[in-house]
């Protein structure tokens, strides 16, 4: 594993090695994946992901991806770790007050099971693009807390799949929306959120983040291998009266964003 800081210290890179057994007759570390219908480990190993947001949603998504053996994971976030993050995000005491993107990269490198490149870019995605510090990727995942960045990513990365995920302020519901080239954009679904200010200090717990991270990771699989998904919008409710649902959102003819 290498740990490289650039002179600006906005970029941290970890390269992990695949875990191998000590006995020649042991299974491959990803053996259980290979037993799943349609699972293609090689496709996962070749996939490059840009993960926007290193909070609770980014943490859980990142854990799933590196454990499964993703090829490249580039994490973008300009925030630093504060003490309230430790109850639900993948940080420890040692990470307090340090840039989230770098610390999440370091922590995820400890959980990787395959040969992965994990980069932490301590910038907002808009800054990374402007400064040409945004890496090429096959898929973009957006797990931020503000609509401005969601709309920015929807437009900027419209030529590749973009997976959006968010949770509600009561932390008992969340959604995953998969935007694909030629299909419905984020604005087709959430055009009314354009210009809405970011929520500050909303309530939050780890449980809903874990669920959404798992769904995002599954959605990644469906984009690169033959695992099945008949939705592009999935909403989960923990609280009884509302039912979970899967929908196929169609391109909105009147959409101002696509």
Residues of this chain that bind Zn ion (CB under 5 A): 185, 187-188, 255, 257-258
User: Which residue's CB is nearer to Zn ion, number 14 or number 151?
Assistant: 151
The two beta strands, 72-76 and 162-167, are unpaired
**4: number of CA atoms within 13 Å, CB side?**
9
User: Which residue's CB is nearer to Zn ion, number 86 or number 255?
Assistant: 255
Nearest distance, CB of residue 251 and Zn ion, angstroms: 6
User: Which residue's CB is nearer to Zn ion, number 206 or number 258?
Assistant: 258
143 touches 165 (CB < 8 A): yes
The length of the chain, given as a count of residues: 258
209 touches 59 (CB < 8 A): yes
Question: Rounded to an integer, what distance in angstroms lies between the CA atom of residue 68 and that of residue 62?
Answer: 10
- What lies within 8 Å, CB to CB, of 23 at 6+ separation is none
Phi first, then psi, for residue 139 (nearest 5°) are -140, 145
User: Which residue's CB is nearer to Zn ion, number 9 or number 251?
Assistant: 251
User: Which residue's CB is nearer to Zn ion, number 76 or number 190?
Assistant: 190
Question: Rounded to an integer, what distance in angstroms lies between the CA atom of residue 174 and that of residue 70?
Answer: 24
User: Which residue's CB is nearer to Zn ion, number 67 or number 247?
Assistant: 247
Q: Give the DSSP per-residue string, 21-65.
A: -SSTTSPPTTHHHHTSTT--HHHHHH-EEEEE--SHHHHHHHHHH
């Amino acid at each position: 594993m290498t740990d490289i800081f650039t002179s600006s210290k906005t970029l941290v890179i970890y390269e992990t090695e695949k875990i191998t057994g000590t006995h020649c007759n042991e299974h491959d570390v990803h053996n259980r994946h290979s037993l799943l219908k349609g699972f293609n480990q090689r496709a996962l190993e070749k996939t490059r992901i840009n993960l926007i947001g290193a909070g609770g949603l980014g943490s859980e998504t990142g854990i799933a991806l590196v454990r499964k053996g993703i090829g490249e994971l580039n994490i973008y976030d300009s925030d630093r770790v504060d003490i309230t993050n430790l109850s639900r995000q993948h940080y420890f005491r040692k990470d307090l007050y340090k840039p989230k993107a770098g610390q999440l990269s370091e922590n995820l490198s400890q959980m990787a099971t395959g040969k992965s490149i994990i980069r932490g870019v301590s910038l907002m995605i808009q800054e990374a693009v402007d400064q040409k510090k945004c890496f090429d990727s096959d898929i973009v995942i957006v797990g931020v807390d503000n609509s401005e960045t969601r709309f920015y990513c929807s437009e900027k990365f419209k030529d590749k799949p973009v997976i959006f995920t968010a949770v509600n302020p009561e932390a008992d519901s969340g959604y995953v929306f998969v935007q694909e080239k030629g299909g419905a954009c984020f604005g087709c679904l959430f055009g009314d959120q354009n210009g809405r200010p970011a929520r500050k200090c909303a309530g939050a717990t780890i449980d809903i983040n874990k669920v959404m991270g798992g769904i995002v990771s599954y959605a990644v699989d469906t984009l690169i291998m033959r695992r099945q998904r008949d939705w592009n919008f999935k909403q989960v409710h923990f609280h009884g009266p509302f039912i979970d649902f899967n929908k196929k959102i169609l391109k909105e003819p009147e959409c101002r964003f696509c």
